[in-house]
Structure formats: structure tokens, C-alpha cells
Amino acid sequence: MNDNKNRRKEGRRLHRIEMHIERRTPVQWIVLWVILGIFTLWTIFPVFWALVTSFKFTGDAYNPTVIPWVQFKPTLQGWKFVFITAGERTLRSLRNSIIIAFFSSAISMMLGAMAGYALARYVFKRWKNKDIAVWILSNRMFPPVAVVIPYFLFMRTLRLLDSPVAIILAHTVLNLPLAVWLMLDFFRDLPRDLEDAALIDGCSPLGAFYRIALPLAAPGLVAVYVLSFIFSWNEFIFVLVLGFNKAITIPITIAGALTTKGLEFWKVASMSLIGIIPVVVLATFVSKYLIRGLTLGAIKE
């Protein structure tokens, strides 16, 4: 019965979206496509520039040429440097980025799901739910550089400096407020009927959470994981302070292209393309659930 109700609700939501789309005038469609075209070009151009620059010689990297074999002669010197000359450092930073982003995102997702469910389903008396949620969000408002020195001293005391564990802990704390607030909103939109039925049948509150609420919130979990993964993948300041050699990540390696000779654009281009591939692959595989999770609850009855 609840499944039929959810299907009807989803059908009405899609019908309203289709009606809204059909009411657009030709002028509105033209304006929309122009805006989307400009946005697409603005988004894709840096990737295109990096791809072209990665196949240029050192001197050609400073010239605004984009057509290979016509405006410049392509070369593989940038890719040889990344995978052969500095291959060990590149693979180490890529491996560290994957490990740190994977585990920090998973921990943030699990803790955020439990905290979001508790705030959505239970009422706290001494400390109101709203105050708890605002306090959690406030931890994400200050700049990371404000706490980097305390983190450094704390990790030094635990002897975790230059270790992926230290950066995983730092990124988990950084992404946790986002995970809690997103999962709080997802669980609020889920009906309680199935959970109440499970409790009546003898399921414990924890069992109802793991067996009923958590599977229903799968799109939200995917959205939280992907966003946390992206933030952790691109994070720079904590890795710069807490990692020196063994725990470096892709952003640190890219920043290493700035030397006394200047900024070597072909290095930056090659490393940037390597750095965006894992995130693009992850987002492509989970795009269906990601879009559903990000739009869940956007249209209310």
C-alpha cells in the first residue's frame, strides 16, 4: 500500500514537472539553450585547455594554440614525466587520494546517516534538535585554516603526522556537517509508516534504522558519499600541513609544478587530467542515484 502511495506521489511530481516544461514559450527555450550552451563551454574549456597543453612542448605551453599538427607539434614529454620520471610520486599521490577520499567519505556517510536519523526521528529535550543541527552546521562555517594548527599538534601527539589516517580523520570532521544536514533532510521526507510497522512486528529501533530507513535513503547516501568524496579529493590545506611525503595527494603534486623556473603548465595539465578521472568515473557510475538524491524533496506536495 505504501509502495503504491509512493508511486502515485512520484507520478504526480513528474507530471507537474512535465506540465511546467510544456508551458515554456519558444523564446524561453532559446534563452534556456543559450544559457546552457554558454555554461557548457565555460565548464568544458578548462578541461579542453588542459588536454591540449598536456601534449605541448615546454615553450609551446605559453602560446594560445589549440590545433595539433597545425598550430603546434604534439609531444608526449608531459605524460612521460608524469608516469616515468616522476611515476613513483604520481602513483603514490593517486593512491593516497583514493584511500583518503574513499574512507573519509564512507565514515562521514555512516556517521551522518546515524546523526541525521536521530535528529529526524527523535526529540531531544535538554538540547533541542534545531540547536543541535545548527551547532553541527556551525562547525563547517569557519575556514579550515583556523583549525589546522590544533590539528597539527593533535596529530603530532598521536604520532600520526604524514599518515593517511590523520588526513582521513581531518576530512571526516570537515565533511560530517554536510553529511548530517543532507541525511537529516532525506530522513524527514521518508514516511514513518514502514518503520512503525517494523517496530510493531518486534524489530528494534536500531533494526528499523538498518533494515527499513537506511535502504530507503540509498539515493541520499549516494549523494552524501559523492559530495564528500569530491570535497576530500580536492582538499589542499590539511594535506599540506599534515602530510609531507608519504601522505601527499594529487592537489599537492599538482602544486609541485610551481618551481623556481616558474609554473610548468604541461605538468599541471597532465596531472590535472589524471586527478579528475577518478571523480568523473565515480560520478558517472552513480549519476542516476546522485541526481535522485540531490532532487529528493525538492518539490513538495
What pLDDT digit, counting tens, does each position of 34-47 carry? 999 999 999 888 88
Q: Which residues lie below 8 Å from residue 55, measured CB to CB, with a gap of 6+?
A: 68, 74, 75, 76, 78
pLDDT digits 0-9 by tens, 213-255: 888 888 888 889 998 999 999 999 999 999 888 888 999 888 8
What are the extents of the domains in the chain?
86-295
Residues 6+ apart with CB under 8 A from 258: 264
Which grid coordinates are listed for 176? 560530517
CB 278 within 8 A of CB 98: yes
Q: Which pLDDT tens digits describe the chain residue by residue (301 residues)?
A: 444 555 555 556 555 655 555 566 778 778 888 999 999 999 888 888 888 888 887 777 777 777 777 787 888 887 888 888 878 888 899 999 999 999 999 999 999 999 999 898 888 888 888 888 888 888 888 888 888 999 999 999 999 998 999 999 999 999 999 899 888 888 888 888 888 888 888 888 888 888 888 888 888 888 899 989 999 999 999 999 998 888 889 998 888 776 666 677 878 888 888 888 888 888 888 777 666 656 654 444 4
pTM over 0.85: no
- How is domain 86-295 classified at the architecture level of CATH? Orthogonal Bundle (1.10)
**What DSSP character marks residue 299?**
S
Partners of 68 in beta bridges: 72
CA distance 296 to 266: 41
Alpha-carbon span 125 to 9, nearest angstrom: 34
Asked whether the beta carbons of 127 and 195 are under 8 A apart, the reply is no
The 3-state DSSP class for residue 258 equals strand
Contact indicator for 267, 54 with CB cutoff of 8 Å: no
